[in-house]
Structure 1
Amino acid sequence: MNIQEIMKAAQNMQAKMAEAQAKLDTIEVEGQSGAGLVKVTATAKGKIVRVSIDPSLVDPNEKDVLEDLVAAAINDLRAKADAKAQEEMGKLTQGMPLPPGMKMPF
């Protein structure tokens, strides 16, 4: 490959990365806790879209439990969003001749 081909390939990759980043704003993932009694939905980029709490948990005496369940659902969601984001970004480098150990995005 000459330098022009390398530059063009880099520009194409940059455009695909931008598209993939934009797509992450449209992909939703859901985290749950308390056997599904608390659910948090967010984009794969981590923007919280909605929180759903089963009415059975809305008890002033159980405020601490509810707060813990919301935190657990958000942590579950974050792990799923990270996995989904990595999956989407991995699609970009699939079949690309990268040196061993080199990962995209940088």
Structure 2
Amino acid sequence: MKSMEEMIQAAQQAAQTIQKQMEEAQGRLDQIEVEGVAGGGMVKIRATAKGRVVGVSIDDSLMQPSEKQMLEDLVAAAFNDARGKADAASAEEMEKVQSAAGIPPGFKMPF
């Protein structure tokens, strides 16, 4: 049977491994891109899974002063769509790390 000191050391090493894997996963999240769309594809926003917006595309037909309010609404809708997809991609990536570490699904990490 292992001594208490050996068990504490093993737990510390496991925690360090998990933390390193989580940091690596966080780094990968900035490389994963998602695209939010609105208005049947007339407005598109590209964002990373961390939520950083990397691009906005607006169909030329929306570039009219009379369409300003609709355009603003579509940009907000596209952003929210991208944010939802980014959250889903982030959760999926974190789930992979947790699964590899033997952590049960839904367990909230303290870091």
| TM score, norm. by length of structure 2 | 0.87
CA contact (8 A) 1:89 1:104 kept: no
Cα RMSD for the two superposed structures: 1.7
For structure 1, the residue ranges without an aligned partner over 5 or more in a row are: none
Number of matched pairs:
105
Query: Of the two, which has the highest radius of gyration?
Result: 2
Q: Distance in 1 between matches of 2:102 and 2:25?
A: 19
CA contact (8 A) 2:18 2:101 kept: no
CA contact (8 A) 1:89 1:105 kept: no
Matches within 5 A, 1:50-89: 50-89=55-94
**Structure 1 letter corresponding to 2:67:** E
Match of 1:4 in 2: 9
Structure 1 residue 44 corresponds to structure 2 residue 49: yes
Structure 1 residue 15 corresponds to structure 2 residue 20: yes
| TM score, norm. by length of structure 1 | 0.91
Which 4+ residue blocks in structure 1 deviate beyond 2 angstroms? 95-99
For structure 2, the residue ranges without an aligned partner over 5 or more in a row are: none
